[in-house]
Structure 1
Amino acid sequence: MADRGPTECWLTDMDGVLVHEGVAVPGAGEFLRLLRETERRFLVLTNNSIYTPRDLHARLQRSGLDVPADNIYTSALATAQFLDTQRPNGTAFVIGEAGLTTALHEIGYVLTDTDPDYVVLGETRTYSFSSITQAIRLIDNGARFIATNPDPIGPSNEGSLPATGSVAALITKATRVEPYFVGKPNPLMMRSALNTVQGHSETTAMIGDRMDTDVIAGIEAGLETILVLTGVTAKAEVERFPYRPSRVIASIADLIDEVRP
């Protein structure tokens, strides 16, 4: 990889990097504290569209991690920003929870089931067959199909749950219309995050635990990519991919010295 300047901005995934099954990863708290104390630009990224940044701030705080809501960026926010650039003050039929509906309300969107511009699919723990049926009919009638992220499953205390990608596949099967996925691995989310934090790709690093979302999105956005081994991708799996991260490290604790003043 070409020589890069010192890292001035940090983007980091949440699950698998900062927390694992609701427990803070060792070193994550110190890393975040140093970012705040040294006034580094940073964002915590997540494909989870269920929660608002304020909700996630509270959830991380319960894990012992202090991340201001302004430093949390979700696929719901990225989706809202994308729609605001495509069709300002539009209308949408939404399947999702507060993280998504709040983000759309804040950009001036009207949520409706009457001839909407878009069907917007996000994550929810209570997917409704009637809502999915309504989405299919609206898409058949010409609504454009957007989804917050392609993740097929999500975690729960009882095991895996179907997530946005799985439900999107169901709708696509019924309508023959593919959605536009905004969240990772789409580099659009990375570029939106960079714009939000006023960062530059040449001096920004992306920390993630998945080769197929975090690393590929970071590469395509021109960022330094750092894979940590505290989440989904194991070290032995890295060589199976046709692309490589800039670095592979054990955990976020290995980056603490890089953000010390």
Structure 2
Amino acid sequence: MTDGIRAKRGFIIDMDGVIYHGNRLLPGVPEFLQWLRASGKQFLFLTNSSERSPRELQQKLARLGLEVGAEHFYTSALATAAFLASQKPGGSVFAIGEAALLNALYDAGFTMNEVNPDYVVVGESNNYTYDRITRAVRLVLAGAKLIGTNPDLTGPTEAGLVPATGALLAPIELATGCKAYYVGKPNPLIMRHALKKLGCTR
């Protein structure tokens, strides 16, 4: 590790493919985490995935042998909810995603609306159906703004690659002619949110 890295006050750390791959912890991670703590560094695990909450990510790392508080995790679902709350407080959304995304939106003050929402929000989902796509397309054509939690086309699992948010959003973008606004990496927005949560500057 270089002196420049050792001198950093805080670290934002990716997860998939960096900390673990599927359900397998990658080499060197426990030692790195031990160094962060022993050195008094601030750290935050940042993931583009919107399907798990910080609590669920905490539990996943615990199963892999790492004890990390839920406050050390930040997700694209949380960043998306925070961004939308800054744009239209108390607005409404039609969301395609898992419970972590829905709960983040609820916690940010949004209500679910399948008739005339302000936003159509899409994240990773195991409940992605033709009916949901059709409804999303019609709502966007009626004026709802299209938002993606991240632009990733695929995500890694132990069984192989799976479609991610960018791939799930593609049919909606193509059918409507509207390009989604993506909150997650590489958008600097999510990094600014993470830095603020970490209490650090670049």
Q: TM-score range by the shorter chain?
A: over 0.9
The answer as to 2:31 corresponding to 1:41 is: no
Describe the SS at the equivalent of 1:119: strand
Distance 2:5 2:66 in 1: 30
Alpha-carbon deviations, 1:173-212, whole Å to 9, x = none?
00000000000111111111001111110xxxxxxxxxxx
Rounded Cα–Cα distance in structure 1 between residues aligned with 2:38 and 2:77: 28
The answer as to 2:80 corresponding to 1:76 is no
SS of 1:49's partner is coil
Counterparts of 2:33 and 2:85, CA distance in 1: 31
Deviation at 1:5, TM superposition (A): 9.6
Q: Which runs of 5+ in 1 are unaligned?
A: 202-261
Quick check: 1:172 aligned with 2:173?
A: yes
Aligned-partner Cα distance in 2 for 1:42–1:107: 24
The aligned counterpart of 2:147 is 146
Matched, 1:105 2:106: yes
RMSD: 1.7
Q: Tell me the percent identity.
A: 47
Please list, as runs of the form range in 1=range in 2, the aligned pairs for 1:58-97 lying within 5 A after superposition. Answer: 58-97=59-98
Deviation at 1:63, TM superposition (A): 1.1
How far is the alpha carbon of 1:34 from its aligned partner? 3.1
Partner of 1:242: none
RCO greater where, 1 or 2, for CA within 8 Å and sep 6 or more? 1
User: TM-score, normalization: structure 2?
Assistant: 0.93
Whether the aligned pair in 2 keeps the contact of 1:92 and 1:116 (CA below 8 Å) is: yes
Q: Give the partner amino acid of 1:110.
A: T
Q: Partners in 1 of 2:81 and 2:181 — Cα distance?
A: 13
Unpaired segments ≥5 residues, structure 2: none
Distance 1:27 1:166 in 2: 32
CA distance in 1, matches of 2:91, 2:192: 23
Match of 1:204 in 2: none
Matched letter for residue 197 of structure 1 = L
Call closer, same or farther: CA 1:9–1:126 in 2, change over 3 Å. Answer: same
Contact 1:32 1:67 in 2 (8 A): no
In structure 2, what is the Cα distance between the partners aligned to 1:159 and 1:15?
Answer: 13
CA distance in structure 2 between the partners assigned to 1:122 and 1:49 by the alignment = 6
Q: Distance in 2 between matches of 1:157 and 1:17?
A: 14
The equivalent residue for 2:195 is 194
Shift of 1:65: 1.8
Quote the residue 1:7 is aligned against: 8
Comparing 17-26 with 164-173, which one deviates more in the overlay? 17-26
Q: CA deviation at 1:39?
A: 3.4
Q: What is the CA distance between 1:99 and its match in structure 2? A: 1.3
Instruction: Give the SS at the match of 2:40.
Output: coil
TM-score (norm 1): 0.73
Which amino acid in the other structure matches residue 52 of structure 1? S
Alpha-carbon distance, 1:70 to partner: 0.6
Distance 1:196 1:109 in 2: 21
Is the 2:54–2:75 Cα contact (8 Å) retained in structure 1? yes
Task: Give 1:158 deviation, angstroms.
Answer: 4.1
TM superposition outliers: structure 1 runs of 4+ over 2 Å? 3-6, 33-39, 154-161
Question: Residue type matched to 2:126 in 1?
Answer: R
CA separation in 2, counterparts of 1:179 and 1:46? Answer: 19
Partner in structure 1 of residue 182 of structure 2? 181
In the alignment, which residue of structure 2 is the partner of 1:247?
A: none
| Corresponding residue pairs, total | 199
